């Protein structure tokens, strides 16, 4: 920095040159010195380089006519510092304490009746008021004096706190604590920073540290006093008013004493200041200080409470963290006198960064949280006191009013990022960790699939013996669901695997009842069924579940059950109050299970239906017959089951099917059968060989079928078509759903081209080909489905690999590649996405042909991450065409699966599709969720399913599950 040689007659003059015995110490009660006008300023700033060691203080001290008083060793200035500390302790300390206490008051009183966004708005308004007024408060001080402005601030702040104590609605606090306290804080804190810097020169850092220490220590002591006062006695309005008046008088007194020696000055911020290379550092520091200021004063106590630390333990951690912050203030202020504010600032930010990494990688317990508070407090405190020191050093003391106002503006803007970023401290820490080390985790909900809207608080609610009640008539479906979930909740004791060391949570209330309200009595289950619901779980009292249909209520009951967790035998809901608004993105969300290649007992199917309900899936696509077996009873063709089942105990009777359908309906799941025709029909030939073609061609079966054994209905034989229509007519009555899957995939033309009957028919009908025969067959079976008042579903070959044009209401299930989806909707057909590249769960186990040592056609294995990352809408941009994508299904073909492997092949990979089909790939704010951020929820969900009897396979070593974020690819 350049030093001006101008002297000013009206300034204090003293020298500390060698050999001088002493100098005159002006009285503390003398009139304040008059600072020079801009044209006579003793300092100016240039855009020179920034050095970490500080400017040459010795040259400045030797300069005659120095404007600012220097604090000498052993001088009475030490007395002033001590007096400032004591006065700040008794004046601004209680004001600060009242503000901290008010944060607890707001959360305790209004969290049950207002959303996080509303409560956060209080802090936003306070920050906005502070930011807006902060930039002009320096000018106000210059215009009206350093006595009037802070006095107005003190009384405005006190009035805001007093009125806030009577608030009964959140909007009362928006105006009082939000606006009034924000305005008062801006007018009060600016002089508190400016004054010490104008009192002292060489040791202004020490003076600022002493003042800050007084405020902070007073804040800690008086916060504990306020907490004790409120807990032990009933606080009347007279006591509130008296305490606020005392605070106001004390604060006014300290302001008068503190500003007695300070005179208004004209701020000097010119073009040369804007060129200063240190300006960016100052602005950045201000912004990030505002963001990090939320940690010690709000999020740390909330976090301590959230992980089960007792109120006294949380108070101790908060007090120690603030004490560390005070130590950091003094340490940082004193260090800046010797090392320069830049070095201190960078070191302090490094310390806060390390503390965040520490809390992320350390077990969440009392010791770890205390360590985090101490380390963060030291770093944060050191940054806090660098404002005036940094400005005075690099821009000049006479610029303090404007720069401090600018500081509060930017730190206020930084503070505004707090509430939108997170709803509680744990989210905040994780989000900061993302910015620092690229980690990302989502703790916004424990529910899987993720609800469309999930809002939560910071309390923990005990749920010892919840009762589920409803006023919804005599619905058997709902009463059965309530009983089922009541039983499940009573026996389930789920603890998230990462919380294996956590003890009991301190609770803020108790939940006794869940009231279920259903609007409609219509229990029709179809593609158009409304599954939406709304769930509110307060901190205390009664939870409410509202839905338009009984099926929405069933989805809400599942979400409610997943909110419940157990810690050392105590059942709780964390982060109450919880508000959920939920409905699916896709109306059709299913699993296709092949029970023909290998048989699955009824109990396996029911267990799968249970698991589907835990994931809010709503379609069981039953691929019930295929070339290998016909396990289903037929009353029209009874020999099919007799000749086609693997064994007498590997069959499904009518009663079994009806039982499964009813069992599924009770869980909001539709059962859609598939009878794949005209291909995949070898097993029919075991009973009716006369209507078949290319029956079991060996050894070159691969020329006639996709897999052995070969055999297709003879499409040139009217009897084959009659058989197919008969199957549709019979099973359309057994399977009551509105949809009926006709298959239609993987037909082999060579099978018919070499068939004697087909060749004879073609010879006698010159205008007929295999393709026209196939189109006629499709016409007949789709016509039969329509006569049964059903909607047909076909695999995509019917649309793309034949001359047949399906009716427009036909639903096309796409599987060959992902581009089939946009091609289907471009033709105006509805689509169910089942791409083999992402949704085929049987893939990845190699070939099942014993004379081949290689991969299967659809390898590799489809990991849950790969399934989660698939987006059915990715290649469809037209809004109308996107509406035609109605569903998604994962498939489990059973060449290498049976009852032993069923659960592990399906779960939890099917759950990955379940979430993207229910919630979509993006959040409401447009954020595209990644597998990295949902991993811990997936782990929790998998462990919960295992606890419910579902054999879901593990995803990682248990160590990784218990230490989130430590098993990521670098």
Q: How many other C-beta atoms can be found within 10 angstroms of the C-beta atom of residue 955?
A: 16
Q: Tell me how far apart the alpha carbons of residues 51 and 48 are, in angstroms, rounded to a whole number.
A: 9
Instruction: Give the pairing of strands 453-455 and 578-582.
Output: antiparallel
Ranges of H-type helices in 266-365: 271-274, 279-292, 294, 300-306, 311-339, 341-361
Nearest-CA neighbor of 518 among 504, 537, 499, 532?
A: 532
Q: What are 349's two structure tokens?
A: 């930010």
Q: Cα-atom radius of gyration of the chain, to the nearest Å?
A: 37
Nearest-CA neighbor of 605 among 550, 688, 661, 668?
A: 661
Nearest-CA neighbor of 668 among 609, 716, 592?
A: 609
Q: What are 214's two structure tokens?
A: 């007084």
Nearest-CA neighbor of 590 among 384, 373, 369, 834?
A: 834
Catalytic residue among 60, 492, 746, 953: 746
| Residue 746 designated active-site | yes
149 and 141 in contact (C-beta within 8 Å)?
yes
Nearest-CA neighbor of 507 among 464, 468, 544, 465?
A: 464
Look-up of token digits 């900061």: 432
3-state SS track over 150-178? HHHHHHHHHHHHHHHCCCCCHHHHHHHHH
Q: Tell me how far apart the alpha carbons of residues 785 and 740 are, in angstroms, rounded to a whole number.
A: 7
**Entry field: residues in the chain:** 970
Q: How many other C-beta atoms can be found within 10 angstroms of the C-beta atom of residue 946?
A: 17
Q: What are 846's two structure tokens?
A: 């190699």
Q: What are 352's two structure tokens?
A: 């806060």
Host H or E run for residue 693: strand 692-693
278 and 1 in contact (C-beta within 8 Å)?
no
* Cis peptide leading into residue 709 (ω within 30°): yes
Which residues, in sequence order, are bridge partners of residue 811?
Answer: 793, 830
Q: What are 222's two structure tokens?
A: 């008086």
Nearest-CA neighbor of 32 among 116, 131, 147, 128?
A: 147
Q: Which residues, including other chains, have CB under 8 Å from residue 116's CB and lie 6 or more apart?
A: 419, 423, 455, 456, 457
Q: How many other C-beta atoms can be found within 10 angstroms of the C-beta atom of residue 316?
A: 16
User: 3-state class of 792 per DSSP?
Assistant: strand
DSSP string of 642-662, one letter each residue = HHHSSSTTS-B-HHHHHHHHH
Q: Tell me how far apart the alpha carbons of residues 286 and 328 are, in angstroms, rounded to a whole number.
A: 17
303 and 426 in contact (C-beta within 8 Å)?
yes
**CA dist 891 → 483, 656, 659, 761 (Å):** 31, 22, 23, 38
Dihedral class, residue 844 (left if φ above 0, else alpha if ψ from -120 to 50, else beta)? left
Nearest-CA neighbor of 258 among 206, 211, 202?
A: 211
User: 3-state class of 312 per DSSP?
Assistant: helix
CA 74 from chain centre, in angstroms, equals 56
Q: Which residues are catalytic?
A: 746
């Amino acid at each position: 920095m350049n030093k001006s040689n101008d002297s000013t007659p009206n300034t204090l003059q003293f020298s500390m040159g060698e050999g001088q015995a002493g100098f005159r110490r002006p009285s503390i009660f003398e009139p304040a010195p008059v600072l020079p006008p801009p044209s006579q300023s003793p300092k100016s700033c240039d855009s020179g380089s920034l050095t970490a060691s500080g400017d040459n203080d010795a040259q400045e001290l030797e300069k005659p006519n120095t404007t600012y008083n220097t604090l000498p060793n052993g001088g009475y200035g030490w007395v002033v510092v001590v007096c400032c500390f004591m006065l700040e302790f008794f004046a601004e300390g209680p004001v600060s304490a009242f503000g901290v206490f008010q944060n607890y008051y707001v959360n305790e009183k209004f969290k049950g009746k207002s959303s996080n966004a509303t409560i956060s708005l209080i802090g936003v308004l306070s920050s906005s008021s502070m930011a807006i007024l902060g930039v002009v408060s320096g000018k106000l001080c210059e215009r009206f004096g350093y006595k009037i402005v802070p006095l107005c601030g003190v009384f405005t702040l006190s009035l805001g706190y007093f009125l806030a104590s009577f608030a009964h609605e959140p909007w009362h606090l928006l105006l009082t604590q939000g606006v009034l306290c924000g305005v008062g804080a801006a007018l009060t804190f600016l002089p508190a920073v400016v004054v010490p810097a104008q009192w002292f020169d060489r040791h202004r850092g020490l003076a600022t540290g002493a003042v800050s220490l007084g405020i902070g220590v007073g804040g800690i002591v008086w916060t504990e006093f306020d907490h004790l006062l409120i807990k032990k006695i009933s606080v009347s309005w007279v006591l509130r008013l008296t305490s606020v008046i005392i605070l106001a008088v004390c604060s006014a007194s300290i302001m008068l004493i503190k500003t007695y020696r300070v005179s208004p000055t004209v701020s000097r911020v010119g073009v040369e200041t804007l060129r200063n290379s240190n300006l960016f550092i100052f602005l950045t520091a201000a912004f990030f200080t505002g963001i990090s200021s939320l940690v010690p004063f709000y999020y740390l106590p909330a976090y301590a409470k959230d992980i089960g630390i007792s109120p006294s333990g949380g108070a101790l951690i908060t007090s120690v963290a603030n004490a560390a912050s005070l130590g950091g203030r003094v340490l940082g202020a004193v260090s800046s006198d010797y090392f320069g504010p830049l070095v201190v600032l960078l070191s302090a930010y490094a310390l806060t960064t390390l503390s965040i990494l520490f809390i992320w990688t350390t077990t969440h317990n009392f010791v770890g949280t205390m360590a985090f508070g101490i380390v963060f407090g030291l770093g944060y405190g050191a940054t806090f006191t660098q404002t005036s020191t940094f400005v005075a050093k690099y821009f000049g003391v006479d610029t303090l009013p404007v720069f401090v106002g600018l500081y509060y503006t930017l730190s206020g803007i930084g503070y505004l990022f707090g509430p939108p970023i997170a709803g509680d401290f744990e989210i905040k820490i994780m989000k900061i960790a993302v910015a620092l080390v690229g980690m990302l985790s989502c703790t916004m909900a424990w529910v899987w699939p993720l609800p469309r809207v999930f809002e939560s608080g910071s309390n923990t609610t005990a749920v010892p013996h919840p009762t589920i009640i409803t006023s919804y008539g005599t619905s058997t479906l709902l009463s059965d669901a309530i009983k089922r979930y009541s039983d499940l909740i009573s026996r389930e004791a789920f603890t998230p695997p990462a919380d294996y060391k956590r003890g009991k949570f301190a609770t803020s209330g108790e939940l006794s009842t869940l009231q279920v309200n259903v609007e409609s009595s219509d229990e029709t289950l179809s593609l158009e069924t409304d599954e939406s619901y709304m769930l509110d779980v307060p901190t205390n009292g009664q939870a409410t579940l509202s839905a338009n249909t009984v099926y929405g209520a069933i989805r809400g009951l599942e979400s409610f059950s997943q909110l419940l967790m157990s810690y050392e035998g105590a059942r709780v809901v964390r982060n109450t109050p919880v508000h959920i608004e939920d409905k699916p993105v896709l109306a059709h969300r299913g699993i296709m299970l092949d029970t023909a290649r290998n048989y699955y007992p009824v109990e396996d199917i029911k267990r799968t239906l249970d698991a589907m309900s835990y994931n809010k899936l709503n379609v069981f696509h039953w691929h019930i017959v295929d070339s290998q077996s016909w396990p289903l009873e037929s009353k029209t063709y009874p020999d099919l089951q007799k000749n086609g089942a693997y064994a007498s105990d590997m069959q499904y009777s009518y009663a079994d099917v009806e039982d499964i359908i009813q069992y599924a309906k009770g869980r909001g799941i539709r059962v859609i059968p598939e009878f794949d025709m005209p291909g995949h029909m070898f097993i029919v030939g075991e009973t009716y060989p006369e209507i078949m073609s290319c029956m079991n061609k060996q050894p070159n079966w691969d020329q006639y079928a996709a897999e052995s054994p070969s055999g297709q209905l003879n499409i040139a034989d009217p009897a084959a078509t009659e058989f197919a229509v008969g199957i549709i007519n019979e099973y359309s009555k057994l399977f009551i759903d509105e949809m009926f899957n006709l298959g239609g995939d993987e037909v082999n033309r060579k099978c018919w081209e070499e068939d004697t009957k087909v060749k004879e028919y073609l010879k006698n009908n010159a205008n007929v080909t295999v393709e026209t025969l196939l189109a006629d067959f499709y016409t007949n079976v789709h016509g039969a489905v329509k006569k049964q008042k059903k909607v047909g579903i076909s695999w995509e070959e019917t649309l793309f690999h034949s001359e047949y044009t399906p009716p427009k209401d036909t639903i096309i299930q796409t599987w060959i590649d992902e581009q089939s989806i946009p091609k289907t909707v471009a033709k105006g057909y509805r689509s169910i996405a089942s791409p083999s590249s992402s949704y085929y769960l049987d893939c990845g186990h190699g070939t099942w042909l014993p004379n081949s040592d290689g991969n299967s056609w659809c390898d590799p294995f489809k990991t849950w991450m790969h399934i989660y990352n698939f987006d059915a809408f990715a290649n469809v941009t037209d809004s109308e065409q996107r509406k035609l994508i109605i569903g998604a299904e994962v498939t489990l073909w059973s060449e290498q699966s049976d009852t032993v492997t069923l659960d592990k092949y399906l779960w939890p990979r099917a759950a990955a599709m379940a979430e993207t089909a229910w919630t979509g790939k993006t959040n409401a704010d447009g954020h595209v969720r990644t597998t990295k951020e949902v991993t811990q929820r997936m782990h929790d969900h998998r462990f919960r399913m295992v606890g419910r009897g579902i054999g879901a396979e593990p995803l990682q070593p248990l160590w990784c599950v218990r230490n989130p974020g430590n098993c990521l690819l670098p």
